[in-house]
Amino acid sequence: MLMDIGHLHHYWVKYRHITLIIPIIMLIFFSSLAIWQLRVNNLKMLQFKQAVITADEQGGDVEKALNDLRLFVYGHMNTRLRAPGSSEPPIQLIYRYNQLVATEQARIANISNVSSDLYQRAQAECNKPEISLSVRNQCVKDYYVANGGGGSYIKLPPKELYTYDFASPRWSPDAAGISVVIAAAWLLLLVIRLVVGIIIKRKVQ
């Protein structure tokens, strides 16, 4: 028994610093890699999101841009679109929506007993940056009706057809997700190493 304790003490003194340094280095490395990959995921998500906005503004292929964004968000962690605490949909196809509103405006202009000028004023009043797409429909209708127009003539498209939000997974099997798992594994090994070290130290003292 004394021989075993002696050998244990010998190996403990010889290797304790080495066995502690290895998991610390690996934990730092994979933790840094995980943080970097999570940031890469977020930056790529912002690029896909901007592609949707650009396609909407320039009349491009919005459906393809939306699908690319959807696939990326669904497959990668740390790609949440909506800002914390925000109740507004993060993707609003304002330009496409306004094109349909312009079509509705032209339709109303062809109705003799409806004031096209009043509808244009309602659009000017509600088409402001501080008024989100989610409430713009009701704003136009309320202004139009309040100023003598007939609400039955306004047929605005549902806002839900032009707003989008996609859910990001808590974990994904990409570079970021794998790095997180490996970093967690090294953290566990470090904890085990510390616990074992405490037990061995007590035995050899």
Tens digits of residue pLDDT in 69-92: 999 999 999 999 988 777 788 999
- Assess contact for 41 and 174: CB atoms under 8 A: yes
Share of the chain above pLDDT 90, in %: 41
Q: Is the dihedral of CA 171, 177, 180, 185 positive or negative?
A: positive
Coil, helix or strand at residue 137: helix
* Predicted pLDDT of residue 148: 67
Report CA Rg, the chain: 30
Nearest CA among 98, 68, 38 for reference residue 166:
68
Q: Please tell me the least confidently modeled range out of 43-47, 49-53, 97-101, 152-156.
A: 152-156
Residue 112 pLDDT grade (very low, low, confident, very high; cuts 50, 70, 90): very low
Beta pairing, strands 91-92 & 163-164: antiparallel
Cα–Cα dist 148/158, whole Å: 23
Residue with token string 């047929």:
155
The helix or strand, by DSSP H or E, that contains position 92, with its residue range, turns out to be strand 91-92
The Cα 27–Cα 108 span in angstroms is 66
* Region of residue 93 (phi > 0: left; psi between -120 and 50: alpha; otherwise: beta): beta
| DSSP type of residue 83 | P
The pair phi, psi for residue 172, each rounded to 5°, is -140, 145
More confident residue, 2 or 61: 61
Q: For residue 10, what pLDDT band results from cuts at 50, 70 and 90?
A: low
More reliable by pLDDT, 129 or 7: 129
pTM above 0.75, yes or no: no
Q: Report how far residue 148's alpha carbon sits from residue 18's, in angstroms, rounded to the nearest whole number.
A: 83
pLDDT confidence of residue 200:
67
